[in-house]
Structures are given as structure tokens and as C-alpha cells.
A and B are shown apart, each in its own frame.
Chain A
Amino acid sequence: MSSVVNIPPQFEVVDRPLDTQMTISMGPQHPSTHGVLRLELVLDGEMVVKTTPDIGYLHTGMEKLFEYKKYQQGIVITDRMDYLNPLGNNLAYCMAAEKLLGLEIPERAQVIRVLMCELQRIASHLVWLGTHALDIGAMTVFFYCFREREKILNLIEAASGGRLTPSYFRIGGLMMDLPAGFERRCKQFLDAFPGAVDEFHTLLTGNRIFQNRTQGVGRISAEDAIDWGLSGPCLRGSGVNLDIRRANPYCGYENYDFEVPTEPDGDVWARYMVRMREMKESHKISAQALSRLRPGPVKADAPKVVLPDREAMKSHMDALIHHFLIVAEGFDVPAGEVYFPIEASKGELGVYMKSDGGPKPSRVHFRGPSFVNLSALPVMAEGEMVADVVAIIGSLDIVLGEIDR
């Protein structure tokens, strides 16, 4: 057994026997790292002296795949990126392409997009809550959260056909309109949801053990948070009032009435409270969106970009030709580049899309919020104990699919 590892000079090996510091590797197979993340921890007993995240264990080469697929084929790949918030990824990609094309999206499609994105945000926060509580030790919350999540997944599956990978949005609108009975079921879910959030609060928020494990742990100040590029609930948990839905509104978000929750402390407890309040705000937005649904088209009026209806395709020649061309050859997107940020459940999800005038993009880059949030982990975790590192990773709400792409 030969040691073939060559440690470069910037990593000082402090593995001295009979000394107190030890370098261990947490992950990549670990129940609490929320995916295949590897942390190199230098420990002094239980205290973390230095930590270095080592990522790339889920690198899928998605950005290269985008360059080989037509624009509409790329939507399917975006689902697998942040797999807890796939509709958010779809939305960012589609809206970036629509910005390049200069399409105007009809009102009903925008309202449905907002509704589905907010439902998806609630579902993503539910997984966060369940797994975070599970890591800290509260196993019951996991089952409660997943019960609520099943209801949302039912709704998403009814609309799009996929529970976890819906690919519901298309460039120019939606895949298809909402099914019959969707509004009734959605309203049923939304009526019962605030009670569920209160249930989570009774399970966790007043629990002294949970408070001791999360309050004062993993602090990051507002200046550091901005400098390290944190966004989303991690940034709002440090007191910075920044939400892309308010700062650079898209998809009609400027017309909805919601608050942006912030907490001043910057620790794990603050991020927890921000996300719990965000679930209630998303519920508010969903209820408003549901009440604004009016009959109308769900696809933009751009026959060269948007697939025609099946009935029109079967009866009209030009619709058939358009359908064939869009599917077989794709549509040409004007040359240029855009950067389109949205407020995903984890933070600022930005899509940089560069086109050189053809049916396939020249470069697509996703700025994953978890990628940037994780880079701030050493700042939060140094000086804490190993068990606190688990709590901090949970509070960052990282998804390795988005980090590694």
C-alpha cells in the first residue's frame, strides 16, 4: 500500500502523531453532506481548524451538452441541474432564450409560470427542512415535510407529467395548458398549507435542542456575505434585503404583493427562519397567482419558435411545416449574449447564454447559487465543531447537481 498522493505546498500537512490536529475527509459518501460533497477537514479534537470543500463528484458536463443540443432540447437537461427546483431551472433557461429572441409571453403563461415556480419553491424548501432537521436529529419532520411535498408533486405531475423532472416550460410559453380540475386541487392544497407550516413550527422552532444547535452557529456578516457572493436565503439571513424578484423583476413579479423576509443575525437559525417565512410568502404569491388565472393562450405568437397545436398541425399545412422544421432543424436565435438571473429557491440562479445565430447555443453557463454559497463554507465553519459543520451545510441548502453541473 503505497501513498501515491502528492500534497501541493499550499496545504500544510499537520498530521503529526501525538499532536492534536488531524486531517480527515468528510464524504463523498456521507449521509449528511446532501450529495456527493467532500470536505477536507483539519480538526483539532472536535473543532474545525480549516476546511476545504472538494467538489466535482457529480460533474456531468451539462454545459458542454447544451452546445450540442438545440435550444428546446436543452430544457430537459436543465431539470437535472438543481433537481429540487427543476421548474426554476427551466424558467431561467427559457427566459434567457426568450430574451434573445425578443418574444412576448402571454399573460396566462406568465401567471402559470409564477404559480408553478412558487409551488416549486415551497417543495424545495420542504426538502431542505426535512433533510436539515434529519441531520440535526429531528427525524419526524422529514416525514411531515415529504407528506406535504407529495401533494405538490401530485400537482406538478398533473400539469406536466413528471414529478421531479417536469420540463414544463417551453421557449415561448408552456408545454401545454393546465389540466381540468387543477385549480380546484391547487386551491385545496393552498388552503391546507399554512396549517402545515404551523405544524413544522410547533415541531422545531420552540425546541430547545434545535435552538441550541442552530443559534450562534455558522455566523457570517452582511459584508462578508456580499463579498463572497451569497444570495437568496443565505444572504437574507445576514440582514441584506435583496431579492431578484424585487431588484430585477421578471415574469410579472412586480405585480404581486409579497414581503421579502430578512433576519439580522447571519447564523443557521436566521437562515432557518428566513426560509420558513419564505414558505408562507410563496404561499401568498401562489394564492394571488391562482386568483389571477384568466382564460387565454399559453404560448407566444411566434410560429417559427413555438410548436403549433396538434389539431392545427393536423389540419393546416403551414402548421405542419413549422412543426417539422422546429423539431427537426430548430429555430435560429439572433446572435448575442444575455445574462438572465432569477430568484431560485437557493438564491440567484443566472443563465449566461451566448448565441452565434444558429439553432444551437454557442455557450450556456449556469451560475448556480449553491456553487457560490458553498464557497463561503470555510468562512462559516472554521472555529465550529464537526457537528456544527453538518448544521451549517444543511442551512446553506446546497444541491450538488447545481454545484457540479
Chain B
Amino acid sequence: MASEPENKETNPLPTPEAGAPSPLVAALQREHPEWIAEVIEAFSETTIVVPREHIVAACSFLKTSPETRFDFLSDICGADRGPEEDPRFEVNYHLFSTTKHHRLRLKVVLSEEDAHVPTVTGVWRTANWHERETFDLFGVIFDGHPDLRRILLPDDWQGHALRKDFPLRGYEPYSLK
């Protein structure tokens, strides 16, 4: 399935397809086009790549806007593209609307040297633990988080476990082989 980045310049009037959440993107494109870096529609899901500085504003807009009403944050998920890639880290926000039942994914891409994202705990309080988990496993720092510390790994653990350059079996003395 090819991903087709649509840009506002090449497709100013997105044609509404059956069941495709283009209206979601349409609302955002109309009001704040500078928040959208890229739109990917694949596997009947919509992904919007948002620049890091606008993520909180985009999230609060999507939560309150009457067309979208994304009042439920399903998941915040980090991903590591690998140590050679730049930008290296992705943070995915999976949004869901309890009234309209549509879903959307927001993606923020970060480089390794500057892995900071503003926190969205002010928008949805459930982001608290999800961001702690992403910090714990990837090392992405969420600015403004009320309590950013490790949640799954022990508190004195060195390293971030889900990065691609962290070995599966860990380091000595933890790999008791």
C-alpha cells in the first residue's frame, strides 16, 4: 500500500471518499494549515505529521472542534527508526472520538539530539502515563510533564530499552549468560 503525501498546494479541495476521514484533515487544513507538515492516508487510516511546536495547539483544537471532537486519547506510542536515520524518533498520538467514532493519528518526528516534545497532559490527562512510558523506553523528553520518571524499568536503569541500539539481552551484569 503506497503512502500518498497530500499537500495543500497540490490538492486544495480534498475530495471526500467513502468512509475516509478526509473531513478531519479538511477542518485542520482550513483553520490552521501551518500545523500540517504531511498527510498520509494508508490502510484506511489517516496520519497527520505535525511539527513539534504545534502539537499541543493541534491536539486542543482537535479535541474541542465540533467537527472532529477527539475527546479520547487512545495511545501515545513512540517508535525508533534506527540510529542511522534522521529524524530518529517518532511519537504517535492515536486519537479517537467517543461520539463520532472516528480515529486519527498525529505524528511528531524528532531527531536524536533534540528529543523534546511539549506534553499534552493538559489536553488529556491520560497522556501522563503514556508519556512516561515513551520516555522510559525511548528517552524522549516531554517538556512540562508533571512527573516524568521511569515507569516500567527499574528506577536505576541505565539506557532506554526499546531503542534499536539497545541489545536484546541487555548489558552485563544483566545478561547472565
Contacts and interface: CB of A to CB of B under 8 A. Distances in A.
A and B touching (C-beta < 8 Å)? yes
Interface of A: 8, 10, 55-56, 59, 61, 63-65, 67-68, 99-100, 102, 226-229, 240, 242, 247-248, 334, 336-339, 341, 348, 350, 352, 354, 362-363, 365, 367, 371-372, 375-376, 404-405
B1 A102 contact: yes
A350 B94 contact: yes
B61 interface: no
Find the residue from A56, A229, A363 having the highest chain B CB count within 10 A.
Answer: A229
A63 B79 CA distance: 11
B27 interface: no
A358 B96 CA distance: 29
Contacts of B126: 227-229, 372, 375-376
B22 to A, nearest CB: 17
Contact of B162 (A64, A229, A352, A371): A64
5 contacts: A56-B153, A63-B137, A242-B98, A334-B1, A337-B105
Interface string B1-45: 101000000000000000000000000000000000000001101
Q: Looking at B92, B96, B103, which has the most chain A CB atoms within 10 Å of its CB?
A: B96
Contacts of B75: 339, 350, 352, 365, 367
B105 A339 contact: yes
A341 B42 contact: no
Given A56-B152, A375-B126, 17 more contacts: A10-B146, A59-B152, A61-B168, A64-B162, A67-B164, A227-B124, A247-B98, A336-B1, A339-B74, A341-B74, A350-B94, A352-B77, A365-B79, A371-B133, A372-B126, A372-B130, A375-B128
Contact of A56 (B105, B125, B154): B154
A337 B106 CA distance: 12
B170 to A, nearest CB: 9
A337 B47 contact: yes
The binding surface of chain A is classed by DSSP as mixed
A146 B41 CA distance: 46
B101 A63 contact: no
Most buried by B among A10, A56, A338, A354: A56
A56 B74 contact: no
Given A334-B1, A338-B43, A371-B129, A229 B72 contact: yes
Given A336-B43, A367-B94, A372-B129, A56 B72 contact: no
A404 B162 contact: no
B94 A59 contact: no
Contacts of A240: 98
A222 B92 CA distance: 26
9 tightest Cβ-Cβ pairs between the two chains A and B: A229-B126, A367-B75, A247-B101, A56-B152, A375-B129, A365-B77, A59-B152, A363-B79, A352-B77
B103 A248 contact: yes
Contacts of A99: 43
Contacts of A365: 75, 77, 79
Which one of B47, B80, B137, B149 has the highest number of Cβ atoms from chain A below 10 Å of its Cβ?
B137
Contact of B79 (A64, A102, A354, A405): A354
Interface in B76-121: 77, 79-81, 92, 94, 96, 98, 101, 103, 105
B94 to A, nearest CB: 5
B74 A248 contact: no
Which of A8, A68, A228, A365 has the largest number of chain B CB atoms within 10 A? A365
Count chain A CB atoms within 10 A of each CB in B3, B71, B94, B146 and give the residue with the most. B94
A386 to B, nearest CB: 23
B172 to A, nearest CB: 17
Contacts of A375: 126, 128-129
B97 to A, nearest CB: 9
Contacts of B153: 56, 59
